[in-house]
Structure 1
């Protein structure tokens, strides 16, 4: 990437404006709380957590990992063979996420999933897989007998089914559940790199790699189930991008179909993943001049076909996605998740949480965007975020809920001037460590 003074200034102005925005939202949230409004963010006002500075020798772990990543990450990303970069980026992302989590204690990796509101808590309630999907909606209403916990009842049946299948495969317990979440979040990183190379080129993917690995998003990978959801959605987008970028043939058609299957699966993990549709379409349509409209249409239709296959399979088993959405909306309307959280505040607080999750480098990259095909990745992700935000259904906790979008927003770092990238990379590392040390985050 070439450097330019105007671009650097735009980046600085964008980051300054974003920091001011987060500060104002924080102050408004504090004022609302003092006046009696329960934002249900524990004792914080943007991220869900409790302010509590805990400094111990364990902070040396993420400090060492982050320093090594800043010093050697860009050079390694530039020269490693492509396959090694994909595997190495996933491994490095897992190490970074685990190192951050362990700063708060050795039991931190399983602690978030031990909550009575999380998926593993409801796994023992599932007696028969044969009737699970057809009877799932019976337990969604909060006043129903043996109602699902908060997270389970607020998601499609596939989310709980994932942990049930893990348990039935002999991998039960919080340790395996945590491993699934961490592995999912880490394996989303190479998917982003594959998608960037398909839409733009390998040089851009290599430039983005250190930022995706070391982003503050890692705070919400170890361990929230959204890490696994991100894996499914990100690889779905990546496969569609690959299908549109390559020469026509059976392998590219299979990639398009596979992308649709994964995105269809994502619909049954989180209702919010439906907002990935603009990004899914963008990574295909952006290639229209090179591959022509007929090929674009073919890839899109194969992707839609793959999604519909998953919808049909769940419907045949007794779970209709739209009925699930309606039941969840009814539950949210009568519960505390929405009624005690003012939309007029969270429509801004959601964005503030997302800004902290992606970190200063991504924000700076957004300020440096140029009109190239690569820009559709962060812009398509932001379109999904906007849809999610304006629906009013998501109020708080977007630092983890928007992980499937945030990883693509990080692609904006490719537009940063090369000589400034290491500084921005360090800024993200510092922010992640400060948040981990200063807040008892729930995830």
Structure 2
């Protein structure tokens, strides 16, 4: 019978011995960085450079303050989360914490979105550039996969819309299948995205528990729930991508936390299958392989080289099975990646956007999406196996950034990475946690009120 080899019921609080001052140095520095980048973006706009950010200078969206009575809903939810969240996360049974964290994350995202209007949840998907627009075009699934790459180039006879062409076919296929099971319309499409983003929260908690124990996972929970990333959970398809990828990593992590055996192999295989599906949702999720490797390698002492190799090999089999299924269906991932890259590079929103600016602007948008708690947590990191999770996610973000393919909109594009960076909040000094949680809530509400984000 398999038993856990590296999942103690509780471990020392990672934030219990942290120095108090690094967060108070790091957060102002990052604020200054964001302001400088914003000022440069403003000047570029005044000089006639088209940033394709809908009037924004860092985030995509116009500055337009909308203050209505609806703002009180996220204010009340946010304050309740700050005052009660940490204590509840520390006390409720683990089996209840996981679904409760997902439901609360969804509620927080919806509360923020509805501040801007009743139709705010569906509106981001009601665009000619989004996946639902092309759902009616898909007939036979086999013909869809076999002919998908032919419609990726912008000058093809019948090109896919912008987001569909820039992703593997699994992204559109998710909305097609939703439609074919009878859940039609933008409301259900929005629900799928929000559910995906919300379900990423318990996946991260399961992973943190497998890597470092239950106490750090409970510490991270309210920060994951109330982070500003919720602004793009409701509603962008990247939230769905985040949830799928997070559960693939969680399954690998729990496989590595068990003694080698049939149970661990089944979890590793399931994790590989889910991660394989993630690869066919977004090409950018490839860099999340660093996090997947990290959650297995942290157990190298308990498992030994052979055990680590076994988990990774079984997981790789799962990934290859998915790749093979899509290849048999007529879609080859490598060919699709090359075609999507060509489509992105030839588009005006790529050519017009200056790389020198967006290399830094991408990171500034990431800082806003993550919020001050994540920045403070990163500043508090210490040598620990848990620290590998946010560091691996940051490495993936940097790989994406320097590739030059991503120019703007990283507040949503990197959402699958942000949920792992937020694991750094486990390292926050205990007495500072309410402060940074409150500031994250204030930032999220502030962005929602001041910026008309597209998603």
Match of 2:299 in 1: 287
Alignment partners' CA distance in 2, 1:336 and 1:303: 39
1:24 maps to which of 36, 43, 46: 36
Q: Is the 8 A contact 1:347 1:392 kept in 2?
A: yes
User: Is the alpha carbon distance of 1:66 and 1:179 closer, same or farther for their aligned partners in structure 2, counting shifts above 3 Å?
Assistant: same
1:424 maps to which of 420, 436, 454: 436
Match of 2:231 in 1: 219
1:363 maps to which of 367, 372, 375: 375
Alignment partners' CA distance in 1, 2:79 and 2:243: 26
- The question of 1:102 aligning with 2:114 is answered yes
Ranges in structure 2 where 5+ consecutive residues have no aligned partner: 1-12
Please list the CA deviations of residues 292-315 of structure 1 after superposition, one character each: whole Å capped at 9, or x if unmatched.
111001001111111111111000
User: Is the alpha carbon distance of 1:4 and 1:310 closer, same or farther for their aligned partners in structure 2, counting shifts above 3 Å?
Assistant: closer
Match of 2:452 in 1: 440
Q: Is the 8 A contact 1:239 1:259 kept in 2?
A: yes
User: Is the alpha carbon distance of 1:13 and 1:122 closer, same or farther for their aligned partners in structure 2, counting shifts above 3 Å?
Assistant: same
Match of 2:405 in 1: 393
Q: Is the 8 A contact 1:229 1:269 kept in 2?
A: yes
Q: How far is 1:3 from its partner? A: 6.1
User: Is the alpha carbon distance of 1:4 and 1:181 closer, same or farther for their aligned partners in structure 2, counting shifts above 3 Å?
Assistant: closer
Match of 1:402 in 2: 414
Match of 2:275 in 1: 263
Alignment partners' CA distance in 2, 1:156 and 1:147: 14
Matches within 5 A, 1:2-401: 7-401=19-413
Q: How far is 1:258 from its partner? A: 1.0
Q: Is the 8 A contact 1:275 1:387 kept in 2?
A: yes
Q: Is the 8 A contact 1:2 1:418 kept in 2?
A: no
User: Is the alpha carbon distance of 1:395 and 1:2 closer, same or farther for their aligned partners in structure 2, counting shifts above 3 Å?
Assistant: closer
Secondary structure of the 2:121 match is coil
Match of 2:427 in 1: 415
Ranges in structure 1 where 5+ consecutive residues have no aligned partner: none
Secondary structure of the 1:26 match is helix
User: Is the alpha carbon distance of 1:3 and 1:389 closer, same or farther for their aligned partners in structure 2, counting shifts above 3 Å?
Assistant: closer
Q: Is the 8 A contact 2:358 2:407 kept in 1?
A: yes
Q: How far is 1:4 from its partner? A: 7.5
Q: Is the 8 A contact 1:123 1:164 kept in 2?
A: yes
User: Is the alpha carbon distance of 1:7 and 1:38 closer, same or farther for their aligned partners in structure 2, counting shifts above 3 Å?
Assistant: same
User: Is the alpha carbon distance of 1:6 and 1:164 closer, same or farther for their aligned partners in structure 2, counting shifts above 3 Å?
Assistant: closer
TM-score (norm 1): 0.99
TM-score (norm 2): 0.96
User: Is the alpha carbon distance of 1:3 and 1:303 closer, same or farther for their aligned partners in structure 2, counting shifts above 3 Å?
Assistant: closer
Q: Is the 8 A contact 1:199 1:373 kept in 2?
A: yes
